[in-house]
Amino acid sequence: GLPFLVKIPALVASFVFLFCLEACLWVRNFRLKRRLPGPFAWPVVGNAMQLGQMPHITFAKLAKKYGNVYQIRLGCSDIVVLNGDRAIREALILHSTEFAGRPNFVSFQAVSGGKSMTFTNYSKQWKMHRKIAQSTIRAFSSANSQTKKAFEQQVVAEATELVEIFLKLSAQGQYFNPAHELTVAAANVICALCFGKRYGHDDVEFRALLQKLDKFGETIGAGSLVDVMPWLQSFPNPVRSMFNNFKDLNQEFFGFVHNKVEEHRDTFDPEVTRDMSDAIIGVIDKVDSDNGLTKGHTEGTVSDLIGAGLDTVSTAIHWILLLLAKHPEIQTKLHELLDKVVGRNRLPSVDDRSSLAYLDAFIYETMRFTSFVPITIPHSTTSDVTIEGLHIPKDTVVFINQWSVNHEPPEGSLDKDLTNNVMIFSAGKRRCIGNQIAKVEIFLFFAILLHQCSFEKSAHEDLSLNCTYGLTLKPLNYKITATLRGELLKAVWSQQSSNLPRLIYLPMC
């Protein structure tokens, strides 16, 4: 106890010094800067105390007072917040290059050893990095009919295993939380693409890694104080503890990816591309060093692909299951549609999607209503730019409030037009690289789970629509039970003479 007491005067003196220094800088900036509209910002903390538990809702409320383009201050950083469909699309689409930057945040530097494409700044090197990642995803998911079918089969296999696990967890009328099983299923799809390997739902090590990754979004999103108040790292406090945990989980996850990529390097054959890791090794490890990409960028790319293909898919299905259990009348209507279009003798496929417009619309309405990626990963401006007549200087941190786009009046309904208006994957040069495969995955998981099962909540539980805040909004802990509809169909691999794999559906006893 005594050594800590001795440190208290030094901590107080440091805080007073920082406060005075910040106050002087604040007064100078207030006089010199041509400020955008926005709320009054206090010295040292700025507007941090006003954000509350759900910053996206606070930002939307502030937009009603100050307009869709305004400025706040968090710690020592001036930040522009963009709200509403018109301002955000003007920025991300019409001025995509000017808004393609990333701020030099300390948390961003901790991701993938600083080699992440998602979190590094806009540059010639970044453009090459993204091009490689996009072409690799396309090659393994949608380049031609064969890769499309192979990707679909991978998702179908995971979805049918998920059905069996849900039914086991529901045995004797038990109720269960689907969160971790959904995360494992989504992770297995992207791990199969990246590493040619999947993991059992009972793999303790893999589940532990995924549970830690759930904490990733708590530190990296808008409102993370460690990035805007770096002095919080200089003394013990909850923010520093959270950031240290964040660095540890990044090192552990990056170590996991690094080990898998090294295994691929050891057995690499340029004549045989087994999976996405091989494809990326073949490009990045072998390219000229002119573009600045190194071997470390291979691991960074694989990490980005896993991140892009994991959290969005599992969170979307998590919300979908909650809403199905909460609204049984909609679930009944969807069951009737699936039985009419697909029948009971096979599983839904991507080819059925055009005939399942109501099911697709339910997915988009879930995305709109929950807006589970409320604020994009923070951007920064690469040059001076004007949005809605307001000047934003180069190197300004920008928060994009996607939630405000999805909740602008008129409110959405189960209408196909939602597909063009819902914003969940961002837009422009920083649009999520995995958005197309994520949409296919969400559709197949949802359609197969619903085709095979009915989902119910406990009669004693009223499912809450509240959520926890982070890079993605996750439902509060809830429990459901699954009941089999008819016969259990299982995907079984077969081989045709044309050498194209196909699926046979067998009823399981």
Residue 101 β-bridge partners? 380
Helix (H, G, I), strand (E, B) or coil at 227: helix
Letter for the amino acid at 240?
A: R
The answer to whether the Cα torsion of 276, 278, 281, 284 is positive or negative is: negative
Contact 391, 384 (CB under 8 A): yes
Angle at 97 between CA 96 and CA 103, to 5 degrees: 100
- Binding positions for heme are 432
Contact 382, 123 (CB under 8 A): no
Contact 430, 376 (CB under 8 A): yes
- Whether omega before 410 lies within 30 degrees of 0, making that bond cis, reads yes
Nearest to residue 233, comparing CAs of 380, 224, 23, 22?
224
Contact 139, 424 (CB under 8 A): no
User: Based on C-alpha coordinates, what's the Rg of the chain?
Assistant: 24
Letter for the amino acid at 83?
A: N
Distance CA 229, CA 508 (A): 57
Nearest to residue 247, comparing CAs of 139, 105, 358?
105
Contact 86, 95 (CB under 8 A): no
- Binding positions are 432
Distance CA 135, CA 433 (A): 10
Contact 419, 294 (CB under 8 A): no
Nearest to residue 328, comparing CAs of 483, 469, 438, 206?
483
